[in-house]
């Protein structure tokens, strides 16, 4: 694919370079959970586009995919910056049929399908050089998969961008590393918008009712071992997800073993 056609393709899927933009900070009534850290949050769209993960998806996933919602985290106390993205889908289709009493016993009814679905990916880069240092992505029902800087599946672009290649697993939308598409273009169809603009609204609408706010609002909580998933561990959903993993259900056989809870 020549450069002109490549740019047309990227524009059609919403990830084309559109020139430099001014970093913006959203006006929201949401009270962020910093966990004691000093965090500057912004939406520098050009930077977020240069680090956006390239997602390999099925046609089914593309049909339900709405877009990526991103933001950047910086801190004077850290030597990394973080580009954080949330993929949003219209729904998650149930993976299997009811398993009856087992689901009741763990506190979750049988279906793992629901309206809307939100899947995170955090890309950590060196604050000085911009080099990839680490990624933390949802590897199985909001349990993290850590991607180290040792041979990650990354495409490095001419504009200085570096794009982690991830495969979206149907129908749960968690990620596997995708080494087969390195050097290629993304297959995802969607748009990139500001997570800062929707954080408060999503919170009010119950999107994150079962989620740990620290895991959402402070990406460094993962490498600091202050959180071990995006779940609020006191919730029924969190307990159910652990049982699914232990029983090998709901996509556990299509997840990286490193992402499954012990």
Question: What does pLDDT average to in each consecutive run of 10 residues of the chain (262 residues)?
Answer: 35 37 50 97 96 92 92 98 96 48 45 66 97 97 96 90 94 94 77 95 94 98 98 93 90 95 91
199: left (phi over 0), alpha (psi -120 to 50) or beta: alpha
Angstrom distances, CA of residue 176 to CA of 71, 87, 145, 159, 229: 22, 15, 8, 26, 16
Measured between alpha carbons, how far is 252 from 169 in angstroms, rounded to an integer?
A: 11
pLDDT score for 207: 93
Tokens of 200: 């408060």
Where does the chain show beta strands of DSSP type E? 40-42, 54-56, 65-74, 80-92, 114-126, 132-140, 143-148, 154-156, 162-169, 174-177, 192-194
What local confidence, expressed as pLDDT, does residue 71 receive?
Answer: 98
Q: Classify residue 18 as left (phi > 0), alpha (psi -120 to 50) or beta.
A: alpha
pLDDT at 158: 85
> Cα angle vertex 213, ends 96, 78, to 5°?
120
Could you give the residue ranges of the DSSP H alpha helices within the chain?
3-13, 45-51, 59-64, 101-105, 199-204, 213-217, 236-247
* Cα distance between residue 181 and residue 222, in whole Å: 27
Residue 181 CB neighbours (<10 A): 18
CB 72 within 8 A of CB 42: yes
> Which residue in 128, 36, 135, 33 sits closest to 82, CA to CA?
135
At 183, is the secondary structure helix, strand, or coil?
coil
Strands 54-56 and 65-74: unpaired
pTM (predicted TM-score): 0.84
Pairing of the two strands 162-169 and 174-177: antiparallel
């Amino acid at each position: 694919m020549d450069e002109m056609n490549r740019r047309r393709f990227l524009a059609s899927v919403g990830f084309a370079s559109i020139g430099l933009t001014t970093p913006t900070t959203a006006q929201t009534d949401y009270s962020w959970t910093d966990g004691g850290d000093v965090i500057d949050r912004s939406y520098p769209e050009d930077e977020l586009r240069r680090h956006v993960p390239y997602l390999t998806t099925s046609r089914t996933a593309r049909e339900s995919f709405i877009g990526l919602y991103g933001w950047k985290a910086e801190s004077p106390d850290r030597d990394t910056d973080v580009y954080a993205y949330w993929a949003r889908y219209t729904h998650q289709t149930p993976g299997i049929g009811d398993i009856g009493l087992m689901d009741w016993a763990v506190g979750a009814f049988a279906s793992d399908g629901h309206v809307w679905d939100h899947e995170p990916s955090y890309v950590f880069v060196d604050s000085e050089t911009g080099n990839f240092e680490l990624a933390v992505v949802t590897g199985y029902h909001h349990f993290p998969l850590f991607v180290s800087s040792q041979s990650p599946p990354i495409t490095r672009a001419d504009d200085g961008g570096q794009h982690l290649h991830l495969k979206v697993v149907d129908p749960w939308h968690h990620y596997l590393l995708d080494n087969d598409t390195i050097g290629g273009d993304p297959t995802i169809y969607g748009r990139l918008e500001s997570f800062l603009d929707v954080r408060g609204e999503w919170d009010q609408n119950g999107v994150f009712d079962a989620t740990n706010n620290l895991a959402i609002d402070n990406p460094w909580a993962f490498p600091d071992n202050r959180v071990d998933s995006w779940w609020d561990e006191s919730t029924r959903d969190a307990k159910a997800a652990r049982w699914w993993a232990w029983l090998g259900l709901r996509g556990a056989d299509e997840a990286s073993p490193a992402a499954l809870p012990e």
